[in-house]
């Protein structure tokens, strides 16, 4: 199996370092435009994003929680010819073989996805997320720890769900929308809008997810 280079040396990036090692993958280090190259404790900063080409025989993961930033970076890498994105699924994750998971997607420890589920590319499912039957999780979605997605839920591209939130069965969260931590989504969301509370109500708009 190819070694891993992680893009983004933030808190989640370091969690993905652990995730990758738990998956039995060797981690070469991190790319981050905002951190000088060199050793940082147990971690190695290899360089900025442009240093990717020094690691041709490697798989990349973009470990940045914000869906808009993650998409921008994935598209930048892809436009420069990067095609090898790793799919990292922690060994403790339980899922049926009918669950389809895309490239560049990270599924953290303790999560469960039951049956007939499609999870797209560059998705983050953080710790202890439950994903119900027939859910559709599109590209660049970020789901924080302890979220419960009921069955037949659709999370369109770039949706973000905060820690401990819950989504009713059959609900669609439209492109680029967000449910804040602890929220309970009982109705379909409008695109590019933050919702909070139980039942969730709109808080404010977000930039368009494009
Ligand atoms: C919803 C959220 C995006 C709003 O953040 P923000 O735009 O910075 O908004 P603010 O913190 O200014 O809060 C605005 C108001 O909403 C309230 N609020 C914020 N988040 C809330 C939430 N999840 N539930 C209920 N009320 C919330 C604030 O208390 C504040 O109320 P006030 O106007 O009465 O003082 C953010 O609070 C949130 O939930 N982020 C997700 C965090 C998370 O899950 N991280 C996971 C990391 S792995």
Residue extent(s) of CATH 2.160.10.10 domains in the chain: 88-204
Q: What is the pLDDT of residue 114?
A: 98
3-state secondary structure 133-168: CCCEECCCCEECCCCEECCCCEECCCCEECCCCEEC
Instruction: Say if domain 3-79 classifies as CATH 3.40.50.10860.
Output: no
Averaged pLDDT for residues 70-92 = 97
Using CA positions, which residue lies closest to atom 3 of ligand 1?
Answer: 180
Q: What is the pLDDT of residue 124?
A: 99
Cβ atoms of 111 and 22 within 8 Å: the answer is no
Task: Give the pLDDT confidence of 176-189 residue by residue, as tens digits.
Answer: 999 999 999 999 99
* Enzyme catalytic residues: 133
Scored b (16 or more CB within 10 A) or e, 114-141 reads bebbbbbbbbbbbbbbbbbbbbbbbbbb
CA 135 to centroid of ligand 1, rounded, Å: 26
- Which atom in ligand 1 lies closest to the alpha carbon of residue 126? 48
Residue extent(s) of CATH 3.40.50.20 domains in the chain: 3-79
Averaged pLDDT for residues 52-57 = 94
Tell me: pLDDT of 210 over 90.
no
Using CA positions, which residue lies closest to atom 9 of ligand 1?
Answer: 203
**Residue 187 to residue 17: CA distance in whole angstroms:** 36
**Residue 150 to residue 152: CA distance in whole angstroms:** 7
pLDDT band at 7 (very low <50, low <70, confident <90, very high): very high
- Report the topology of domain 88-204: UDP N-Acetylglucosamine Acyltransferase; domain 1 (2.160.10)
Using CA positions, which residue lies closest to atom 41 of ligand 1?
Answer: 162
**Residue 51 to residue 152: CA distance in whole angstroms:** 41
Averaged pLDDT for residues 165-192 = 98
Work out the angle at residue 54's Cα, subtended by the Cα atoms of residues 64 and 34, and round it to the nearest 5 degrees.
Answer: 40
What's the mean per-residue pLDDT of the chain? 98
Averaged pLDDT for residues 105-126 = 98
């Amino acid at each position: 199996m190819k070694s891993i280079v992680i893009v983004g040396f933030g808190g989640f990036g370091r969690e993905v370092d652990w995730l990758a090692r738990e998956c039995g993958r060797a981690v070469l280090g991190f790319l981050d435009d905002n951190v000088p190259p060199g050793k940082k404790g147990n971690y190695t900063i290899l360089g900025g994003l442009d240093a990717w080409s020094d690691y041709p025989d490697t798989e990349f993961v973009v470990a940045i929680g914000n869906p808009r930033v993650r998409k921008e970076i994935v598209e930048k890498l892809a436009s420069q010819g990067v095609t090898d994105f790793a799919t990292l699924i922690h060994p403790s994750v339980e899922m049926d073989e009918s669950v389809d998971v895309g490239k560049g997607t990270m599924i953290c420890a303790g999560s469960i996805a039951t049956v007939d589920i499609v999870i797209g590319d560059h998705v983050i499912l953080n710790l202890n997320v439950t994903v119900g039957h027939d859910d559709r999780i599109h590209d660049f979605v970020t789901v924080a720890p302890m979220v419960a997605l009921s069955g037949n839920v659709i999370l369109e591209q770039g949706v973000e769900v905060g820690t401990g939130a819950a989504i009713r069965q059959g609900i669609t969260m439209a492109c680029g929308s967000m449910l804040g931590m602890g929220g309970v989504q009982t109705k379909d969301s409008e695109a590019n809008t933050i919702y909070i509370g139980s039942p969730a109500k709109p808080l404010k708009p977000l930039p368009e997810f494009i």
